[in-house]
Chains A and B, each alone.
Chain A
Amino acid sequence: MNEFIPLMVIIPIACALLLNLFHKKDKTVILMGIIVAIVLPIIPLIANYGLHYFGGHAPLITNSTLLSTLPSTIQNSALALFHPAVTYSYGALQKIFIFILGIIAFFAIFNSLSQNKKVSGPLMFLMFMGTAAVTAILLSDDIFHMYIFFEISALTQTGIILTSKTENNYETALKYMILGSIGGPLLLLGIGFVLGAVGSVNITDIVYAISHNLVDPLSPTLLFAFGLIFFGWLYTSGLPPFHTIKSGVYSKALPNASVLLQAFTVIIFIAIGIAIFRIFSYLPFFKTLIVVFSLIAMVLGVTMAIMQTDFRRMIAFLAVGELGYIGLGFGLATKLSITAGLFQAVNELVITALLFIGFGTILYLTKISDTRKLGGMIQHNSIVAIMVLIGGFAMAGVPPLNGFQSKLMIIQASLQSGFPEISIIAILVSIVTFMVFMKAYHSIYLKPKPNDLVGADKLVPRSSIAAIAILLIICIVLGLFPHLVTDNISQFAMGLI
């Protein structure tokens, strides 16, 4: 049913708005939150692939009776093909990512419902709103619609940092907003240039106009537009020069919320990345530019992760570094590499969520995030410790876990396209990732317990253990049967090239 497509955005927005009406009726709030959180991953499974035109304004070419009444200048031009309505396109790729986002949102919402005393309030609102915003970015085929939800997601991310009562969260929020408010209008300006050149904001129309030479593909207008949109993309995905602020954002939020924040980042990264790829991949320097930025992100991410002492910042920098692998997939621009990059995106969503929840239990027990003051936590709950260890192996790319499969595909793709240097850097970065993770893991779980470490008399919440276990099962299943995801993705990647 195509009617389900807009519901993926409408249901979380409606839930976000309605939840706070039931303030103080905690049972109603919990029931409603959990029902909606369960519904979120189910809708993409039952929806059919297809397009949804808002307001029913289909392209003129599909409505021949209306078309025949119009002047011949419109009938014979590309205008008859253009999409007048905001269009949502739902395909194999969107299905996978919205499903995974639904699962992660479910765990984030479920954990924060079961661990917080105040169940309603701004955090729930922002979580649902952000989920709706990134779903809309992923579905939308309209570049301005993407911009609107890009701004909404930036506001919700700021809001999520503000609701956590960590130290210096307001400073980080203000920095993120100032940079974001420079990046956002520049993205809008880039969209304006594309609109000025083509006359439409629908990505399919823009691609049609450029590929049929209705506009000059190498005109300065489009080059400038590419620069501005690319800059906005760098900001929103936390590639350099924004890696520091992005990792600061992850580490200032509560662990359950950072799970969602990194999911938002990865999904916006691939959604806008695909849009840029579809529109601008004909540019001669496009691939080089993306590969260079991805490599810088990978190297900077892991090197800055080594220097951190706060484990939340460590994972945050590692998460930024992992984004580089997805970028490599886009940059190499073969069918295999794009499949590998998007598969890596799925894996990163799951693995980083696992690590944030897993290390979040430490924060829950001890209220300390400095690795120098921690130690010996493996005695406290060894099951969680082992599951987090396997999650870290998945991130570093140890077989047979999912991170290994996707990184192997990226290395194969770079060898196939004749860049062995890239594959060497990728392997090195993944080794350093492993090292950083083991350093953090050792200092938290394995080294002798410091004498002044108190607390840890509480139990790890069961909801966290369940979330870690299920995410770990997804990791192992995807590692053993990668074709569950890659079949759908390679189908999409074929259409992209």
Chain B
Amino acid sequence: MIEVVVMIIAILGCILAILQRDLLKVAILTGINGACVAFLFQFLLAPDVALTQAIVGTAIVPVFLAMAIYKTQRMDDK
């Protein structure tokens, strides 16, 4: 049943991410989402994909986003 919990966290994370006004929080939520997907890959018997996704989804993508937000603006205008 743990995979169902992970899936629910992942979906909640991605819905919350697009509802946030604070873009830095969005970046962090994207990281959580990426980590959940990496767990799911492990459950789906794909450990090598899980490794890649763990690095790309939880570290590289949020860092890219955070750097872009640092160079632009933190709050969504609306």
Asked if A and B form a direct contact in the complex, defined as CB atoms under 8 angstroms apart, the reply is no
A residues lining the B interface (CB < 8 Å): none
Q: Which B residues fall within an 8 A CB radius of A?
A: none
